[in-house]
Amino acid sequence: MKRFIDLRSDTVTQPSQEMRDAMHKAVVGDDIMGEDPTVRKLEIMSADITGKEDALFVTSGTMGNQIAVMALANRGEEVIVGDTSHIYNLEAGALAALSQVQTRAIEVPNGVYDIRKMEELIQADGIQNARTSLICIENTNNLNAGFVVPLENINAVCELAKENNIPVHLDGARIFNAAVASKTPVKEITRNVDTVMFALTKGLAAPFGAILAGNKDFIAKARWMKQRIGGGFRQAGFLAAPGIVALNAMSPQLEVDHKHAQILGHGLSKINKLKVDTSRIHTNIITGSVEDLPITIDNFLEKLLHMSIKAKKISNKSFRMVTHYGIEERDLHEVIKAVGDIIDEL
């Protein structure tokens, strides 16, 4: 099979041999009946990593986020979200369609909330109000960036939320990237949030699943919500087993991914008229723009594809590249050379 250097996302990874072996050997049971020991092991490990009382294995980050909203906010209540957040932009309208909440989207430059603005927007109980019942934050802050949100900002949001008796849900799809980049344990990042979702399928490179964590009552409710939306698992230990390998073995890979993103970003930034702002590379995501070049983004990406390189279009002028497990340092130099050659020929 032809090998592509696929930089569209860190979700394109193949499971490691250790993950495949773990799937093969997994001890399984009926998870809806609470009898799958491998699923339970993954949940207990995840609760420990996030410093929460309990955790729930779910199919995807989207499912984890939406179950959190369904469990914490009632129909017609207001949920504060970042305007660039995944939960608001990229979950197929689930906040409205499934969770039936009203959203209030606030600007989050680099993933950072303006606490004063948030305070002004919190809605109290009142006959005409859609009471604010949940605040959602995201770290790393994605929408094609992967910014690490400063812990002080997360804690300031949590403090304000606490004063107003509002829970905070953290979309930590890439929280391990944030932890590695900021040299802060996951537990420290999640200390003050009420609930957290993290993905097993992104930088951690597992083939399936995400985790939702919180206190025991929340997880009991979340488990029931998961069942309601058809997310009940049977012998899901086969799917949880590579997740356990991911948690045990994959964090050091993220450090490599971040180093690779710096090499790639700096290499691309030296190419004449290609715009790559290296100060925006916090973790494993690089964005670039061809706006100053006489080539359309579609044409640029097509030329790359002909050279067996895949990148993702993110606007009419810009693209993103994401480093991940399976990308080697020599691949980065091949990509930098290919982009340079395409631009030289213009």
Ligand X SMILES: Cc1ncc(COP(=O)(O)O)c(C=O)c1O
**CA angle, corner 47, sides to 22 and 215, nearest 5?**
145
The pattern of x and - marking residues 276 through 305 that bind ligand X according to CB under 6 A reads ------------------------------
C-beta closer to ligand X: residue 34 or 93: 93
Work out whether 226 is an interface residue with ligand X (CB under 6 A).
Answer: no
Q: What share of the chain is helix, strand, coil (3-state, %, to 5)?
A: 45, 15, 40
Considering only 16, 38, 56, 61, the residue that binds ligand X (CB under 6 A) is 61
Considering only 26, 28, 112, 210, the residue that binds ligand X (CB under 6 A) is 210
**CA angle, corner 82, sides to 79 and 87, nearest 5?**
70
Report in angstroms the alpha-carbon separations of 290 from 123, 137, 258, 330. 43, 31, 23, 24
C-beta closer to ligand X: residue 242 or 267: 242
CB-nearest residue to ligand X: 61
C-beta closer to ligand X: residue 172 or 267: 172
* Residue 217 identity (one-letter amino acid): D
Work out whether 171 is an interface residue with ligand X (CB under 6 A).
Answer: yes
Work out whether 60 is an interface residue with ligand X (CB under 6 A).
Answer: yes
Helices and strands (H, E) in the chain, number of each type: 14, 12
Stretch that binds ligand X, among 31-39, 54-62, 113-121, 272-280 (CB under 6 A): 54-62
- Comparing CA positions, the residue from 238, 177, 165 lying closest to residue 207 is 238
Are the beta carbons of 137 and 196 closer than 8 angstroms?
no
Least CB distance to ligand X at residue 177 (A): 10
Work out whether 16 is an interface residue with ligand X (CB under 6 A).
Answer: no
Least CB distance to ligand X at residue 178 (A): 11
Integer Cα distance of 64 and 197 in angstroms: 6
Work out whether 194 is an interface residue with ligand X (CB under 6 A).
Answer: no
Strand (E) positions, the chain? 5-6, 54-58, 78-82, 102-106, 132-138, 168-171, 195-199, 210-214, 285-289, 309-310, 312-313, 318-322
Integer Cα distance of 257 and 212 in angstroms: 24
How many residues in the shown chain lie near ligand X by CB under 6 A? 12
Least CB distance to ligand X at residue 29 (A): 24
Work out whether 320 is an interface residue with ligand X (CB under 6 A).
Answer: no
Work out whether 62 is an interface residue with ligand X (CB under 6 A).
Answer: yes
Contacting positions for ligand X (CB under 6 A): 60-62, 65, 86, 138, 142, 171, 173, 199, 201, 210
